[in-house]
DNA sequence: CTGTTAGCGCTTTCAT
DNA sequence: ATGAAAGCGCTAACAG
């Protein structure tokens, strides 16, 4: 007898097959101890009536618990990785009644050894699944290899490592976001123009990052569209404000014709701050990522466009991919590029608070 | 005794309060038949230990069923409202194990009587909640008044009616999306330019729509920024291709200096098709909404930017607002503007398939 | 007013 | 290999 909703239950299947609910459950979960014959009979009935289990009842009754572990760079408040963690926390919240618990491990993204230690520790707990913000390729492959050997599914977040076999990848298409940056900055220019192009560097950087890919995409637009422009490049550094200040002074004051600027790092506010302080209002600027400080300069009209990538959503979906795979037995597709959001003063307010 | 997850259960509360689980349940749901004294005691314990119920267990045990009804315009495949219905269906899918069923009613958006009949019928079933794509104000208020009298919560989708008291509104900020359209189209123009501006009209249109608000936002940008431009306006019609063709010919051929165009309707492809067929490639064009046909012209470079509003997400969230309110007893905030997505050739692929 | 009991759909243990 | 029975956390009907 199906219930009010007309939904079919295990009991219904059991009756039709002339077996007990326990047996149906055994075949549903391949738990063995069922004769080939009844197995076939039950399976055919399940297929026939298009049975979908009540996952909530299942979770309630099940004694199985799951532990996921996430390994991401340590961060300070207001940084990019904070949003990633928020997404993880949101996923964790939704899964507690499915007996899932999530632990987050942090590594120093400027220290290779820290990456290794953290990952080793996380793996040593034998989690049921992992979410991983990868480091450089050879290092990362070393550990994804271990995970694969142990049969632990893992999901890459933010950036991807070729030759690994993650359950899924959630991140952005950095090439394209660089390409789009160029288009927004340069498409309407009719004559040759001067552009300031900033990258960003930290000694010992070990976490993979998007900067060089974005720059590559940027240049491919210029090549493809045969844009006539002069690029003035500079590299900024973490935690060296004086050097950065000098670098920017050199760049902008020696090249007064610069009318556009782009910085391929989430720390775009560094350049924005400089432009603001030096009243270089005529320079159109593009930055990356939805950091609070970047938003500030978007709102006060220093940054024209911010290209953003919804990190919370990526992380949230990464967690969901693990649970879909492990708990809900759903097929999960392997690559998920986040939308490239184009943010301006006008639409920014609707994007805050995911 | 709390379970493996350390989560507190009703039984724990009951023990601490020296009552039975049944009594705790009664106070949790204000079902009466509890003395003031024990009520207070139980409540204080609940607050103290920060109890969160297991909603899945609750839904499983509960005999209560819910029926939601949605009232939206009838549509053809590929039209805007199809995406709204997809969002509704997705919400319905997620809620079946909470014993929620959703019925969709359609009205003819060009026929006032049809709106009334459809709404009356939907209301006559005494649903537990309603999702409503409103019509013109006086007409809509007539029915929202009825709903309020009967205590049936309702959610507005797509557009909003002042003086009504919906549980929530999900839609876009049309003023701002018009403003943003102007910025994208005109911000980089240095000299006076000629712009084609299209609105859209259907005789008997009774569903509320965003076109005039978008136009207002567009004009407010021009005023605010003191943009020097000549507007050439035209109004297109549903199902009158010949007239549209003539209108566009007149506009574009009589004003060869036009270098930009905007159409404040989801049927932006009409203008795009014309531009494409007449090789007017030099004209930059902005359209609205993520229809398949619009995407086609975005991809082949006829439409420069598409401003989109995630209708599936809006509808989905509308349904969730009803269930949050009625089933999960969560507070739902009343106004939810959808993000204004700026779509280009570069980022469109990541937005398809919500 | 309050406690007890049965049962939601499913899992899991224990007999058989 | 299979069925019966208990129980997950919660609700609801029934006694008292």
pLDDT, tens digit, 9 for 90 and up, residues B325-335:
999 888 888 88
Helix (H, G, I), strand (E, B) or coil at A65: coil
d(CA B29, CA B21): 12
Q: What is the 3-state secondary structure (H, E, C) of A247-288?
A: HHHHHHHHCCCEEEEEECCCCCHHHHHHHHHCCCCCCEEEEE
d(CA B316, CA B331): 17
**Residues A112/A118/A124/A129 CA torsion (nearest 10 deg):** -110
Q: Would you call B188 and A188 a contact, using CB atoms and an 8 Å cutoff? A: yes
B265 pLDDT more than 70: yes
A230 phi-psi bin (left φ>0, alpha ψ -120 to 50, beta other):
beta
Q: Would you call B188 and A183 a contact, using CB atoms and an 8 Å cutoff? A: no
- Please report the number of interchain residue pairs, chain A to chain B, with beta-carbon separation below 8 angstroms: 84
Nucleotides of C under 7 A from a protein CB: 1-5, 7-13
Mind listing the pLDDT tens digit for each residue in A74-112? 999 989 999 999 999 999 999 999 999 999 999 999 899
CA–C1' gap, B64 and D11, in angstroms: 10
d(CA A262, CA A275): 12
d(CA B272, CA B248): 11
CA–C1' gap, A66 and D12, in angstroms: 33
Strand C proximal to A57 Cβ, under 7 A: yes
For nucleic chain D, give residues with Cβ below 7 angstroms from it: A 18-23, 26, 32-35, 37-39, 57, 60-61; B 3, 7, 9-11, 21-22, 25, 28-29, 31, 53-54, 57-58, 60-64
Lookup: tokens for A59: 């979770």
Q: Would you call B342 and A347 a contact, using CB atoms and an 8 Å cutoff? A: yes
Q: Would you call A339 and B346 a contact, using CB atoms and an 8 Å cutoff? A: no
Residue B192, pLDDT score: 83
Strand C proximal to B22 Cβ, under 7 A: yes
| Eight-class DSSP state of A207 | B
Instruction: Enumerate residues 6+ apart whose C-beta is below 8 A from B44.
Output: none
Q: Where are any strands of DSSP class E within A121-213?
A: 129-132, 154-158, 168-171, 193-201
Strand C proximal to B52 Cβ, under 7 A: no
Instruction: Name chain A contacts of B101, Cβ cutoff 8 Å.
Output: 5
Residue of chain B whose Cα is closest to the Cα of A351:
B339
> What sign for the dihedral angle of Cα B222, B227, B232, B237?
negative
B309 phi-psi bin (left φ>0, alpha ψ -120 to 50, beta other):
alpha
**Residues A354, A312 contacting (CB under 8 angstroms):** yes
Strand C proximal to A54 Cβ, under 7 A: yes
Burial class (CB within 10 angstroms; exposed 0-12, middle 13-18, buried 19+) of A126: exposed
* Helix, strand, coil percent content, chain B, rounded in steps of 5: 45, 20, 35
Residue A338, pLDDT score: 87
Chain B residues with CB under 8 Å of a chain A CB are 4-5, 7, 54-57, 59-60, 65, 96-97, 99, 101, 173, 176, 179-180, 183, 188, 337-342, 344, 346-347, 349-351
Measure CB to CB from residue B176 to each of A56, A346, A351 and give the nearest one: A346
Burial class (CB within 10 angstroms; exposed 0-12, middle 13-18, buried 19+) of A36: exposed
State how far residue B348 is from chain A, nearest Cα, in angstroms. Answer: 8
Instruction: Enumerate residues 6+ apart whose C-beta is below 8 A from A280.
Output: A252, A274
Residue A1, pLDDT score: 45
Helix (H, G, I), strand (E, B) or coil at B205: coil
Mean pLDDT value across residues B142-153: 96
**Residues A71, A300 contacting (CB under 8 angstroms):** no
Q: How far is CA B186 from the centre of its chain?
A: 28
> Partners of B306 in the beta sheet?
B287, B343
Instruction: Name chain B contacts of A342, Cβ cutoff 8 Å.
Output: 341-342, 344, 347
Residue B1, pLDDT score: 46
- The H or E element containing residue A17 is helix A10-17
- The H or E element containing residue A67 is strand A66-73
Q: What percent of chain B has pLDDT over 90?
A: 78
Burial code (b: 16+ CB inside 10 Å, e: under 16) for B151-167 equals ebbbbbbbbbbeebebb
Q: What is the pTM (predicted TM-score) of this model?
A: 0.90
State how far residue B38 is from chain A, nearest Cα, in angstroms. Answer: 28
Residues of chain A whose pLDDT is less than 70? 1-6, 208, 353-354
B352 pLDDT more than 80: no
Residue A148, pLDDT score: 97
d(CA B199, CA B177): 14
Interface test with chain B among A58, A103, A345, A350, by most B beta carbons within 10 Å: A350
Q: Would you call B56 and A99 a contact, using CB atoms and an 8 Å cutoff? A: no
Q: Band the pLDDT of B3: cuts 50, 70, 90.
A: low
**Residues B301, B348 contacting (CB under 8 angstroms):** no
**Residues A304, A282 contacting (CB under 8 angstroms):** no
- Average predicted confidence (pLDDT) for chain A: 92
Which residue blocks in chain B are alpha helix, DSSP H? 10-17, 21-28, 36-49, 55-61, 80-95, 112-124, 137-150, 174-186, 211-224, 241-254, 269-277, 292-299, 311-326
Measured from the Cβ of residue B299, the count of other Cβ atoms closer than 10 Å reads: 13
B201 pLDDT more than 90: no
Strand C proximal to A14 Cβ, under 7 A: no
Residue A322, pLDDT score: 97
Phi, psi values for residue B133, rounded to 5°: -90, 105
Burial class (CB within 10 angstroms; exposed 0-12, middle 13-18, buried 19+) of B287: buried
d(CA B161, CA B133): 10
Residue A270, pLDDT score: 97
Mind listing the pLDDT tens digit for each residue in B209-260? 789 999 999 999 999 989 899 999 999 998 899 999 999 999 999 999 999 9
Instruction: Enumerate residues 6+ apart whose C-beta is below 8 A from A87.
Output: A311, A312, A313, A314, A315, A316, A317, A318, A319, A354
**Residues A347, A298 contacting (CB under 8 angstroms):** no
Q: Would you call B342 and A339 a contact, using CB atoms and an 8 Å cutoff? A: no
Mind listing the pLDDT tens digit for each residue in B39-88? 999 999 999 998 999 999 999 999 899 999 999 999 999 899 999 999 99
Mind listing the pLDDT tens digit for each residue in B312-322? 999 999 999 99
> Partners of B243 in the beta sheet?
none
d(CA A322, CA A329): 10
């Amino acid at each position: 007898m199906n219930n009010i909703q007309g939904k079919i239950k295990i009991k219904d299947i059991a009756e039709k097959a002339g077996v007990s609910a326990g047996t149906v459950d055994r075949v549903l979960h391949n738990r063995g101890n069922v004769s080939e014959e009844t197995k076939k009979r039950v399976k055919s009935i399940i297929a026939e009536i298009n049975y979908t289990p009540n996952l909530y009842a299942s979770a309630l009754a099940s004694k199985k618990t799951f532990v996921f572990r996430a390994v991401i760079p340590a961060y300070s408040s207001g940084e990019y990785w904070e949003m990633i963690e928020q997404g993880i926390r949101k996923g964790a919240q939704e899964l507690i009644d499915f007996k899932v618990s999530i632990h987050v491990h942090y590594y120093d993204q400027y220290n290779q050894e820290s990456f290794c230690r953290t990952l080793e520790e996380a793996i040593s707990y034998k989690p049921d699944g992992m979410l991983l913000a990868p480091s450089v390729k050879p290092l990362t492959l070393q550990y994804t290899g271990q995970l694969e050997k142990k049969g632990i599914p893992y999901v890459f977040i933010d950036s991807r490592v070729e030759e690994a076999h993650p359950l899924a990848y959630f991140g952005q298409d950095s090439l394209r976001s660089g390409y789009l940056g160029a288009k927004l900055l340069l498409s309407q220019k009719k004559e040759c123009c001067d552009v300031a192009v900033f990258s960003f560097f930290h000694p010992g950087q070990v976490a993979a990052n998007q900067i060089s890919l974005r720059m590559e995409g940027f240049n491919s637009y210029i090549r493809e569209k045969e844009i006539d422009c002069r690029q003035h490049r500079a590299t900024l550094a973490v935690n060296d404000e004086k050097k950065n200040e000098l670098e920017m002074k050199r760049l902008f004051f020696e090249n007064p014709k610069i009318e556009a600027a782009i910085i391929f790092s989430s720390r775009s506010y560094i350049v924005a701050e400089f432009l603001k302080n030096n009243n270089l209002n005529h320079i159109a600027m593009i930055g990356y990522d939805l950091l609070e400080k970047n938003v500030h300069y978007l709102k006060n009209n220093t940054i024209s466009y911010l290209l953003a990538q919804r990190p919370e959503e990526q992380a949230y979906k990464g967690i969901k991919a693990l649970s879909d795979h492990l708990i809900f037995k759903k097929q999960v597709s392997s690559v998920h590029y986040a939308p490239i959001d184009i943010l301006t003063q006008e639409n920014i307010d609707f994007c805050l608070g995911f």
